[in-house]
Amino acid sequence: MATPTHVGKHPVGLGAGLTPPVSTPFSASKSVNLSPQQYKKSPANSNQYAHPTASSFGGINFDSPTTAAALATLPLGDLGLDASAGGLGGGLGHLGGGLGLGGGLGGGLGGLQGIGRLDEDERKRRKLMQIVETLKAVKGRVSEDGIERLARSVGLECLWETGMGRGGKSKTLIIAGTGLSIDIEFTDNAVETVTLGFPESPESVTRHAERAGKILLDDLKLGKNETVLTKRIDRFAGNLDRMARLDKLSVMPQLNCHEAVAGIYDSLEKLHEWEVARLTEEEAMSGKTQEQIVRAALLTKSGRPAMNAHGSVGLCLEYWQERHATSRGEGCKTWSLLLECDQSSSMVYPSVRVSSTWISPSVVKSNPTDDDVLLSASGVVLDWQDPPNILLPADPDQKDDSGMEGIEQSGQLPNQKFPDVRFVAKFSPPLTIPYSAAMQIYDSTGAHLEPDSLAAFDALAFPPSTAEPSEPDGAHRRIRKEQLVSVYNRAGEHEKRCHANTLAIPKMEYALTLTEVPFSHPRELVQMLPILRQYTRLSTLLERSFGSKYTSDHKTASEDVPREESTVKDDFDAFMAEASHKDKELQFTKMPVDVSLYTQPGPSLRIIFPLGPRIADILVGIESNGALSIVSQNILPEGNDTTETTKTKSLAVDDLGKILETCEDIGLFAEFLRQRLGE
């Protein structure tokens, strides 16, 4: 049998990099350099024009047992190729003129098997990612060895001392960093006390240490119905990693990242107190409690800063809270930004600055210019300040990985450099928003948005199951969920009604899930809050109606056309049947609630459900700061006219948005209108 020979720039083929156990054409250690005349006569090129021969792979005639044995050792199954003679003939097809593989792609690379494997590989990838995320979330259980191992893994030093505690059997683990110390006292392998200290930090940092220590103790101390065998270390691991990261990025005494974060808290707290005092003077807040006024500032102003809150050590900026119109705020889910520091080249993004005066003592400008007033969305011009930069002594042995070595920045001396540290805001929880909205946020911070993580909005908000086929067009996907809605009927009796919710996204929209965004000044955080609240409101409404236990399917083209042709008589009979039942209320065992999501030019929801003898069709727009407005509807007269719903109350069009804002649930919203307007 003639031997195919590797020539010139053509690839060696499937045998490259492998060592077959038998002598084969692929086991040659060197390529044979042929003259142009010999090249034309070479069997590897005798089939340049795709004429199959028995002596080339295009003919798939394995006369040599050694060749067949060598091919049997190749991992062709992973490529969707069959190692048999017939399967390989259809699978290899046309790999290049140098190998003389005939048949073109007629069999396809793997034929139809390769197409089928695409979905299979995608399902395997999803399943593998779920397993990896599950394993990453498990940090172990609380124990002496477990805490020490965790501390060393984040770069902190550990030292054991005995007899330092209150009892003779106690042991104390001392965890130390550059400007951080944690003393953990154990008795019989159970944590008794935790003492947190910042030895080289100013009062702006140390005054928060006691509360942070209590959070760490709660993470480690055994609670009710807990034992040393069941107490997990996950929450403590997150808090310790956060503090260790700030400690490692600090360069004492020039740069203290704990002090930098505390300075942002002082400035944001000053702004928050000023906004609360201003809201108290407004007539709309007359009769409101102090808690309600503070919540209004959280939801509509610059947020509420909190240090060491919600079980997390560090600074967070709260910007949204669920059911804020009906609850007192305790135990309610809160959306916030965790403000930290991260490593980044100073040539790529502005470095951190340490200051507690990011905003002036007066908070607002006394004499704002016309441009300042025009640029301010609220009409209030805040007097933001720009603190001086921090300069560190340059390290001659340290190389710059940014590729800009030797370039001096403005204000930088020859033997000094800016810190390779930047501020970063981490979303808790992560927020899924359209690509256009993400661009606005990144533009406001001056950061570069990587488009690698883009995906369809529905795939991020409602991830497909591992068994679901991949669908590039999200407009063909339907999210479905059956939901029990608790209501009170007119007799005051409590009952539950079943809704069959369906979500559709008519136009595909690319989106990404925000997990963190860099920033260089607190004003950038304040500027992005209205957009964040807008899509937090959207995610809340979708979560309440569809949640995590949803199902999904894909609309086919047959759903858009009738299955059978209807005659004129059929249409007339259907029209007369509808007319004869127009006064009867539509009855459903499971009431259908169809929701359509639109993201351009702004997020909006179209809600359709049966309302007495008619179908309600309401388009709800989600505006800045999460306010809801009614774009269109067909259940109430337009304008200022009202419809009497009871003997004492009336309902206006503007009230529909306020009702949905209050209940924050599409199902409750539909049932409320059915009770008021269904008769």
Quote the CA–CA distance of 594 and 537 in Å, as a whole number: 19
* CB-CB contact of 334 with 362 (8 Å): no
* CB-CB contact of 486 with 494 (8 Å): yes
What pLDDT shows up at residue 18?
44
Residue found by looking up tokens 């609309």 in the block: 555
Quote the CA–CA distance of 191 and 165 in Å, as a whole number: 11
pLDDT band at 135 (very low <50, low <70, confident <90, very high): confident
Residue range 17-35: mean pLDDT, rounded? 44
What pLDDT shows up at residue 237?
95
Question: Does 345 score more than 60 pLDDT?
Answer: yes
Structural domain boundaries in the chain: 25-131, 144-249, 454-556+568-679
Q: CA quadruple 35, 41, 44, 45: dihedral positive or negative? A: positive
* CB-CB contact of 153 with 175 (8 Å): no
Long-range contacts at 389-392 (CB < 8 A, ≥ 24 apart): 389/351, 389/353, 389/418, 390/254, 390/255, 390/351, 390/352, 390/353, 390/354, 390/418, 390/419, 391/254, 391/416, 391/417, 391/418, 392/251, 392/254, 392/255, 392/416, 392/417, 392/418, 392/419
Nearest alpha-carbon partner for 547 in 606, 618, 484, 468: 484
What pLDDT shows up at residue 337?
98
DSSP string computed for 63-79? --HHHHHHHHTS-GGGG
What pLDDT shows up at residue 225?
84
Q: In 179-287, which residue ranges form alpha helices assigned H by DSSP?
A: 203-206, 209-220, 234-249, 257-280
Nearest alpha-carbon partner for 75 in 34, 128, 18, 131: 18
What pLDDT shows up at residue 115?
52
For 203-215, how does the pLDDT look when each residue is reduced to its tens digit (9 = 90+)? Answer: 999 999 999 999 9
For 212-248, how does the pLDDT look when each residue is reduced to its tens digit (9 = 90+)? Answer: 999 999 999 988 888 888 889 999 999 999 999 999 9
**Who has greater pLDDT, 401 or 259?**
259
* CB-CB contact of 536 with 335 (8 Å): yes
Interior CA angle at 239 toward 237 and 240, to 5°?
A: 65
CA 215 to centroid of chain Cα atoms: 26
pLDDT band at 21 (very low <50, low <70, confident <90, very high): very low
Residue range 383-403: mean pLDDT, rounded? 76
CA 468 to centroid of chain Cα atoms: 21
For 574-586, how does the pLDDT look when each residue is reduced to its tens digit (9 = 90+)? Answer: 656 655 554 444 4
**Who has greater pLDDT, 79 or 360?**
360
For 263-316, how does the pLDDT look when each residue is reduced to its tens digit (9 = 90+)? Answer: 999 999 999 999 999 999 999 898 899 999 999 999 999 999 999 999 999 999
Of the ranges 172-176, 438-442, 458-462, 474-478, which one carries the lowest mean pLDDT score? 474-478
**Ramachandran region, residue 625 (left: φ > 0; alpha: ψ -120 to 50; beta: rest):** left
Mean pLDDT, all residues of the chain: 78
CA 161 to centroid of chain Cα atoms: 43
* CB-CB contact of 60 with 86 (8 Å): yes
For 606-642, how does the pLDDT look when each residue is reduced to its tens digit (9 = 90+)? Answer: 999 999 888 999 999 999 999 999 999 999 886 555 5
Quote the CA–CA distance of 474 and 477 in Å, as a whole number: 5
What pLDDT shows up at residue 594?
96
Indicate the angle between helix axes 85-92 and 111-137, nearest 10 degrees: 80
Question: Does 57 score more than 50 pLDDT?
Answer: no
Q: In 281-335, which residue ranges form alpha helices assigned H by DSSP?
A: 290-300
For 371-384, how does the pLDDT look when each residue is reduced to its tens digit (9 = 90+)? Answer: 777 777 677 889 99
Dmax (CA) of the chain: 103
**Type of residue found at 145:** D
Quote the CA–CA distance of 597 and 69 in Å, as a whole number: 57
**Who has greater pLDDT, 161 or 562?**
161
What pLDDT shows up at residue 295?
93
Quote the CA–CA distance of 53 and 67 in Å, as a whole number: 16
Residues whose CB falls within 8 Å of the CB of residue 431, separated by 6 or more in sequence, listed in order: 335, 513, 514, 532, 535, 536, 539
Q: What percent of the chain has pLDDT over 70?
A: 69
* CB-CB contact of 310 with 334 (8 Å): yes
Q: What percent of the chain has pLDDT over 90?
A: 47
Residues whose CB falls within 8 Å of the CB of residue 347, separated by 6 or more in sequence, listed in order: 400, 402, 404, 407, 409
Coil, helix or strand for 170? coil
Residue range 658-678: mean pLDDT, rounded? 91
State the distance between the two ends of the chain, measured CA to CA, in whole angstroms. 88
What pLDDT shows up at residue 329?
57
**Who has greater pLDDT, 483 or 64?**
483
Question: Does 30 score more than 80 pLDDT?
Answer: no
Beta bridge partners of 551: 480
Token digits of residue 236: 């403590």
Coil, helix or strand for 120? helix
Which strands sit side by side in the sheet containing 334-343, from one edge to the other? 304-307, 315-321, 334-343, 421-434, 510-519, 455-456
Centre a 10 Å sphere on the Cβ of residue 507 and count the other Cβ atoms it contains: 12
Token digits of residue 255: 């740069």
What pLDDT shows up at residue 409?
53
Residue range 474-481: mean pLDDT, rounded? 78
Q: Which residues of 208-230 are buried (b: 16+ CB within 10 A; e: fewer)?
A: bbeebbebbbebbbeeeeeeeee
What pLDDT shows up at residue 216?
97
Residue range 139-164: mean pLDDT, rounded? 90
**Type of residue found at 63:** D
Question: Does 14 score more than 50 pLDDT?
Answer: no
Peptide bond into 601 cis (omega under 30): yes
**Who has greater pLDDT, 377 or 139?**
139
What pLDDT shows up at residue 164?
64
pLDDT band at 555 (very low <50, low <70, confident <90, very high): low
Token digits of residue 493: 């009796």
